[in-house]
């Protein structure tokens, strides 16, 4: 190539790179999912993932994440440092290529478990494109190198600013507020949950998180260090902390099967729910996939074989089903797959066929050994399976009742439901209201065209503590199923929720703004989380926010949702204002309820989403489970919705 041609080639490539970066800025959601809170936090995960990659390759053991005072983020690792030498094809430093070229990925070696597809693994260049400013500092080859960027555009060529004995990469970025228009404020808890999870998933790596925006009582920055020596074994204990163990030890294994690194940990508790968590390359695969199928297969076949041989199930009159082996089971499956294929609605379902048998074999070997070495535990587990099978028979009958009712016929709808007249579910809303009296007010206040009211009697069943058949037999819960028109069982999955006939696309929980109200709200959310998770995942669940105060002066009336707002209003009224505190929905008349809480023009609905299913699961079991102390501690420390980003 002539010099002239080379120059043209270079500028053509850099134009392409620029276009890539421009494209990220034009369509950020394509790369990071959304530009709300989730996307904002995703930027941090993206950079940290690269450091974790270094750690997985054995090149790094410490990662520091700092939320700076101005909500910019600094991540620092002691990996090899991003290469700074000339990138032959691009004609600039490799650092610049990694930072400004979409799809350059980062690693030039193919054998790292870098995630393609899904949300992670889009590259640090994406973070750069979506930051108003980013600075990369690399310690490598005895020198300190740096480069800065503005909205992804290089400000100056990579320069050396000093010497060093260390290696590693430090990235400081400020999310662009013209992209993240909703918020650029980082949540410490959200980041802490992810860093904790990463520490468990990558044992031996120390991850610290520091919040420079806040100081504690001692005048020190809030900071936590996450480190796990035993990985999943400790993760399981953390997840099941508030459940009563059935067996004392964690059953776990770590190894490679058919070239696929597999890690599994499981424990049985005395509860009834099944809590399976699965990860691929450190990403939580909410929708499961081939690795989870492999786990189930290995578990079922091994336990079945053991139970049959042991003769413990001889007197049982019916077949044991797969589900029976998983009651009271908490398990984590983590695999590393070189080229993962992600499928499903949220692209969190692993599709790679070869993974099923790898995991299944790993689980069989692990469990066979364990059962042989721990006959007492084995007996406990089999006894529990037997009980589960018996309970399942009772539940199947109760569930049939829920399934059989046809919600489309008016006759099938619950008597307590005041339905709306609109037939198009996308336009319809249903309010689940605590108590008959508030239900009455809501019924008068609503717009009957598109708003339906379902009053619930007092506290609904705590599903966290109830066996399945009790849940399906519960009147209030049956009413929710029939009113919503959702049934259990699809062609693919007999336990999946069928939302095809969902009658309202907005399901609004409306409770008093007091302690009792929030308890009831939590009970309903627990039910949705355990039995109708798809409803939450598809964005159908909302929480209404009734005001706390009415401030009046003469004929002037204004509502306040918190103390500050109340004080501001009182001040703006310049004396003589009276304050009424609403203790419950019942104290409002129909018109007030409509104006403040139900009218789509003025109300605020909080949409419920699941930010981190693993953490949410732990919190529900803590809040609603048996052990009181952790619950009290949690309630004292946090609001109830710490992890339900509503």
Coil/strand/helix, residue 252 = strand
* Stretch in the footprint of ligand 0RA (CB under 6 A) among 75-83, 205-213, 361-369, 569-577: 75-83
Q: Is 434 annotated as a binding residue?
A: yes
- Shortest distance in whole angstroms from residue 201 CB to ligand 0RA: 17
CB of 45 to ligand 0RA, least distance (A): 12
Query: Is 611 part of any known ligand binding site?
Result: no
State which residue, 109 or 319, has the beta carbon closest to ligand 0RA.
109
By beta-carbon distance, which residue lies closest to ligand 0RA?
A: 50
**Token pair in block for residue 271:** 């509860």
512 labelled ligand-binding: yes
Catalytic annotation on 516? yes
Helix (H) or strand (E) holding 434: strand 429-434
Write down the catalytic residue from 512, 521, 537, 595: 512
Tell me if 616 contacts ligand 0RA by CB under 6 A. no
Closest distance between ligand 0RA and the C-beta of residue 87, in Å?
Answer: 10
How buried is residue 342: exposed, middle or buried, by Cβ count under 10 Å (0-12/13-18/19+)? Answer: buried
Q: Total residues at the site for ligand 0RA (CB under 6 A)?
A: 15
d(CA 212, CA 551): 38
Report DSSP letters for 4-27, one per residue. HHHHHHHHHHHHHHHHHHHHHHHS
| 439 counts as binding ligand 0RA under rule CB under 6 A | no
- Closer CB to ligand 0RA, 154 or 368, in the complex: 154
Among positions 94-153, residues that touch ligand 0RA (CB under 6 A) are 98, 106-108, 124
Q: By CB under 6 A, name the one of 37, 50, 348, 418 that touches ligand 0RA.
A: 50
Active site residue 90: no
Residues in the chain: 646
Cα gap 229→4, rounded to integer Å: 57
Asked if 200 and 235 count as a contact pair (C-beta separation under 8 A), the reply is yes
Which of 37, 41, 45, 54 binds ligand 0RA (CB under 6 A)? It is 54
79 touching ligand 0RA, by CB under 6 A: yes
Q: What is the DSSP string of 548-615?
A: SEEEEETTEEEEESSHHHHHHHHHHTTS--EEEE--SGGGS-HHHHIIIII-TTT--EEEP-BS-HHH
User: Are 642 and 619 a contacting pair, CB within 8 Å?
Assistant: yes
434 has catalytic annotation: yes
**98 vs 463, which CB is nearer to ligand 0RA?**
98
Name, in order, each residue with C-beta under 8 angstroms of 414's C-beta and a sequence gap of 6 or more.
454, 478, 479, 482, 483
Q: Which is nearer to ligand 0RA, 47 or 329 (CB)?
A: 47
Is 512 marked active-site? yes
Q: How far is the CB of 128 from ligand 0RA (least distance, A)?
A: 11
**Listed ranges 2-10, 48-56, 496-504, 541-549: which one lies at the site for ligand 0RA (CB under 6 A):** 48-56
**Nearest-5° Cα angle at 286, 381 to 267:** 20
Considering the complex, what minimum distance in angstroms separates the CB of residue 200 from ligand 0RA? 20
For ligand 0RA, which residue of 23, 25, 38, 80 counts as binding (CB under 6 A)?
A: 80
- Contact set for ligand 0RA, span 176-235 (CB under 6 A): none
In this structure, how many other beta carbons lie within 10 angstroms of the beta carbon of residue 7?
A: 12
| Smaller CB separation from ligand 0RA, 170 or 468 | 170
CB atoms near residue 590 (< 10 Å)? 15
Judged by CB under 6 A, the residue of 46, 64, 77, 617 near ligand 0RA is 77
Name the minimum Å distance from CB 107 to ligand 0RA: 5
Is the CB of residue 105 less than 8 Å from the CB of residue 125?
A: no
Using the contact rule CB under 6 A, the part of the chain among 9-17, 50-58, 545-553, 581-589 near ligand 0RA is: 50-58
633: left (phi over 0), alpha (psi -120 to 50) or beta: alpha
| Spatial contact of 324 and 395, defined as CB atoms under 8 Å apart | no
Which residue in the list 240, 324, 434, 645 is annotated as catalytic?
Answer: 434
Judged by CB under 6 A, the chain residues 28 through 47 that form the site for ligand 0RA are 47
Q: Is the Cβ–Cβ distance between 622 and 555 less than 8 Å?
A: no
Residues that bind ligand 0RA (CB under 6 A): 47, 50-51, 54, 77, 79-80, 82-83, 98, 106-108, 124, 169
* Residues that are catalytic: 434, 512, 514, 516
Binding residues: 434, 512, 514
């Amino acid at each position: 190539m002539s010099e002239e041609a080379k120059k043209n080639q270079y500028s053509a490539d850099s134009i392409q790179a620029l276009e890539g970066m421009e494209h990220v800025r034009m369509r950020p959601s394509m790369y990071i999912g959304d530009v709300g809170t989730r996307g904002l936090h995703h930027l941090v995960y993206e950079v940290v993932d690269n450091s974790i990659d270094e750690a997985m390759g054995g090149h790094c053991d410490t990662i520091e994440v700092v939320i700076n005072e101005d909500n910019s983020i600094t991540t620092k690792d002691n990996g090899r440092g991003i290469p700074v030498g000339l990138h032959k094809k691009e004609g600039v430093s490799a650092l610049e290529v990694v930072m400004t070229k979409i799809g350059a990925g980062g690693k030039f070696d193919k054998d790292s478990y870098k995630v393609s597809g899904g949300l992670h693994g889009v590259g640090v260049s994406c973070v750069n494109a979506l930051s108003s400013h980013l600075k990369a500092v690399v310690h490598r080859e005895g020198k300190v190198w740096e480069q800065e960027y503005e909205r992804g555009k290089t400000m100056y060529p990579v320069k050396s600013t000093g010497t060093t004995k260390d290696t590693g990469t430090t990235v400081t970025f400020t999310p662009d507020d013209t992209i993240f228009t909703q918020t650029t404020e980082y949540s410490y808890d959200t980041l802490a949950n992810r860093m904790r999870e990463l520490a468990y998933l990558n044992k031996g790596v120390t991850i610290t998180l520091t919040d420079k925006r806040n100081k504690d009582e001692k005048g020190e920055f809030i900071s936590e260090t996450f480190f796990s020596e035993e990985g999943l074994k400790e993760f399981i204990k953390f997840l099941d902390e508030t459940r009563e163990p059935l067996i004392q030890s964690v059953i776990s294994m770590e190894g490679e099967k058919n070239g696929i690194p597999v890690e599994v940990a499981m424990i049985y508790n005395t509860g009834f729910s099944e809590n399976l968590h699965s990860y691929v390359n450190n990403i939580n695969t909410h929708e499961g996939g081939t690795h989870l199928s492999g786990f189930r297969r290995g578990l079922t076949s091994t336990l079945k074989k053991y139970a049959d041989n042991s003769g413990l199930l001889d007197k049982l009159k019916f077949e044991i089903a797969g589900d029976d082996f998983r009651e009271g089971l908490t398990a984590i499956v983590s695999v590393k797959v070189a080229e993962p294929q992600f499928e499903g609605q949220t692209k969190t379902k692993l599709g790679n066929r070869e993974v099923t048998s790898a995991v299944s074999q790993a689980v069989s070997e692990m469990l066979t050994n364990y059962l042989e070495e721990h006959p007492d535990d084995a007996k406990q587990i089999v006894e529990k399976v037997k009980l589960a099978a018996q309970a399942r028979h009772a539940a199947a009958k109760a569930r049939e009742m829920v399934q059989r009712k046809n919600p489309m016929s008016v006759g099938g709808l619950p008597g307590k439901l005041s339905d709306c007249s609109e037939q198009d579910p996308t336009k319809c809303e249903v309010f689940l209201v605590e108590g008959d009296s508030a239900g009455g007010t809501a019924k008068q206040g609503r717009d009957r065209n598109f708003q339906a009211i379902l009053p619930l009697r007092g506290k609904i069943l705590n599903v966290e503590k109830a066996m399945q058949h009790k849940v399906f037999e519960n009147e209030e819960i049956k009413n929710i199923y029939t009113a919503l028109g959702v049934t259990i069982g699809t062609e693919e999955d007999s336990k999946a929720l069928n939302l095809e006939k969902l009658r309202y696309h907005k399901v609004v929980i409306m409770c008093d703004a007091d302690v009792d109200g929030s308890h009831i709200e939590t009970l309903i959310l627990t039910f949705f989380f355990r039995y109708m998770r798809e409803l939450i995942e598809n964005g159908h669940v909302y929480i209404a926010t009734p005001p706390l105060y009415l401030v009046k002066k003469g004929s002037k009336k204004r509502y306040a949702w918190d103390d500050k707002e109340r004080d501001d209003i009182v001040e703006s009224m310049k004396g003589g204002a009276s304050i009424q505190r609403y203790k419950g929905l019942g104290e409002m008349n129909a018109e007030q309820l409509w104006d403040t809480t139900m009218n789509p023009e003025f109300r605020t609905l909080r949409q419920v989403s699941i930010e981190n299913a693993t953490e949410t699961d732990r919190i529900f079991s803590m809040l609603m489970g048996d052990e009181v102390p952790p619950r009290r501690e949690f309630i004292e420390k946090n609001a109830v919705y710490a992890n339900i980003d509503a």
